[in-house]
Structure formats: structure tokens, C-alpha cells
A = this chain, B = another copy of it.
Amino acid sequence: MLRAPCSTDTLEKENNLMNNRRKRKIPYGMVGGGQGAFIGYVHRIAARLDGNFELVAGALSSRPEIANSSAADLGLDPARAYTDFSEMARLEAARENGIQAVVIVTPNHMHFAPAKAFLEAGIHVICDKPITARLEEAIELARVKPKNGAKFLLTHNYTAYPLMRKARHMVANGELGKIRVVQVEYPQEWLTKDVENKQANWRTDPAKSGIGGCIGDIGTHAYNILRFVTGLQTQSLSADLTSFVSGRKLDDNVHIMMRFEGGARGMLWASQVAPGCENGLQLRIYGEKAVWNGVRIIPTRCGIPHSDTPGSFLRGGAKLLWAKGCRCVFPPGTLKAIWKPSPLFTMSLLRS
């Protein structure tokens, strides 16, 4: 069960805990997350937000030249800028001030090997979801004996949203009564067309993504948040996976009906072909007494022109807000960064 590092009664105590910094930060490393990557910098922002971690080593790309220039960008000691994660695990484990944890943010098919290597080297692993590309790899990883009690942590960032935790608390408290029906959805629009770019390419390639396309990329988030908040155990399910875009090998739309232990029922919809949905994770829980119906945050809307022509309502969207000429201080995704609890999870486990 995940525990956040701060538990406070008042704002002051929270302040103090946030401020409570170790004299010496926890050194950590990263595999993947180099130039052109997506989620790596989000993890780095989260680490900085926490304030107790310092990035000191990395095998930031499978391509040596990118690995090196990315490391230079990040100001890493060249001696700790690796092009090979195995070497990194070995050498960092041997160093006096070696990393205590490594963050793995590679494409799915490259989760298993580094995770195994670092666990066996006695270094905590913070891995982005999904655990691996194939079930067999996950089973094998579960059999790995970590050295020195090194831990494996999987980051499902939405579990850190205060509203999600509040919801879980309300469910556990019985405020909703016995849970009857759960509706969860996670629609996105970005693969509505056949898209060619670095982020799309590996996600739609079975060799890199695994056998799941949409279901692995975001279906896991939806399912995870359902389980995290309700605690329900799935008894059986019926799923309909579809590839809508012609030629696409992996699913881009997922419908699932679920039956849970205890009699509750649920539905899950995840999609990468839902126009109008930039990132619409939403969870609703109906109990005998009450509902939890979290508000979905859509922070990028603005504007309604005059309705001479059918009025239009500009959806900001990441691209629009960061278009040329419109200078903003943070790249898109920063909001997501706050909720990447990876360093914090590690911290809680390391402290305890």
C-alpha cells in the first residue's frame, strides 16, 4: 500500500515536512529520458519538486551520441554518463557515492533488462508503467532476487492526485457505502490519424510496446486508478479491443465490462482515437449511499469567438499554447510532473 511521505494536521507541519531536506541528497540515476524523450523530464521535475534527490548518472539513450549529449545537457559528470545500462548498474553499484535508485523511462520493451540489472546490483528501481512489454517478462522479473533488499516501484502517477487519494479515503471510510458500480474512462485523441513521430512509433509497434497498444499505454492507468481507489478485486471481465486506424497492428480503442468480488460491476473505456479528448481520465464510483464523481481537469481551454459563423471555442491543447510566438515558462506536461511521485515513493520506502 502506497504511503505518502507527509502526513500532517496543519499547514505548518506540511510546510515543515516539505522543507525538511536532507543535508545530503539521495543520488539517483536515469535510464532513457534523453533528448526527444517524453516522460523522462517529467520524472526529473518531480524529483526536483521533492527536493531530496539529485540526478547524478544516466544511460539516457540507446544511441551513444544522444546518450552523451543528453548527459552533457543535464550537467552530469562525464564519468557517470553511460551508454550501456548494464555497465551503469555495475559501476554505480561499485562507487562509493553511487546512485541509490534508478528511474527507468525507456519504451516498454526496454523495461525488463535494466530493471533486472539494477535490482541485482542492489539499486532501487523506479519504473514507469507498464512494468514490461510482455507478461512473461513481468513474471520473470518477479522472480529476481534483489540484492540488499533493493525495491521495485512502479509509478502510476494518477494515484498521487489529492482527489484520488481523497476518494480512496472516502471509500475506505464507508462514506459511499458498499460499492455497486464503477465507471472509468481514459480517452485520448492523438492517434486518431495515422501518426508518425517518435512517441507514436514505438507505442504502435508490438516489438516495442508489447501486445497491448492503447490498453497498455493508458488502459493500465484507468484500471490502476479504479483498483487503487476502490480496492475492488476483479472476478471476471469481457473486453473488446479494436484497431480503428487502417494498418495499425495494436489496439487503439478498448471496451471492458467487469465483475468484481462482492458483486460490484464496472465499465472501462480507453481510447487513442477519441477526438476532442486531450487527456480525459475520469473515475466515477457509485455506492449504496453516495457517489464519488471526481471532476476532470481540462486546463487548456479558452476563448469563444463571435458566433457569426458557428461560434468556436478554442481548445488550447499543448501544441497551441506552446506555438511559436507564444512564450510560456513551462513545457506541457509540467502539471503531470507534480504527480509523478516516484522520488517520493522511493523516499517513503527508503526512510522506513
Interface residue? A23 (CB, 8 A): yes
Interface size on A, residues (CB 8 A): 118
What residues on B are CB-neighbors of A20 within 8 Å?
73
Tell whether, in the assembled complex, residue A294 and residue B286 are in contact, meaning their CB atoms are under 8 Å apart: no
Say yes or no: A328 contacts B165, CB within 8 Å.
yes
Q: Tell me which residues from 1 to 53 in chain A have a Cβ below 8 Å from any Cβ of chain B.
A: 3-9, 11-12, 14-23, 35-38, 41, 44-45, 48-49, 51
Give the one of A9, A192, A301, A329 with max B CB within 10 A.
Answer: A329
Q: How far is the CA of A289 from the CA of B326 in the complex (A)?
A: 20
Contact B293 A304 (CB under 8 A): yes
Q: Can you name 7 A-B residue pairings with CB atoms under 8 Å?
A: A4-B327, A4-B328, A15-B37, A180-B244, A242-B265, A273-B286, A276-B290
New A-B contacts (20) at CB < 8 Å, excluding given A7-B324, A295-B302: A4-B329, A7-B327, A8-B322, A14-B332, A15-B35, A18-B41, A18-B330, A19-B70, A48-B51, A162-B316, A180-B253, A240-B265, A275-B286, A275-B287, A276-B307, A277-B291, A289-B306, A292-B303, A312-B315, A334-B338
Of all A-B residue pairs in the complex, the 7 with the closest CB atoms, nearest first, are A313-B313, A312-B312, A276-B304, A290-B305, A14-B331, A311-B315, A275-B306
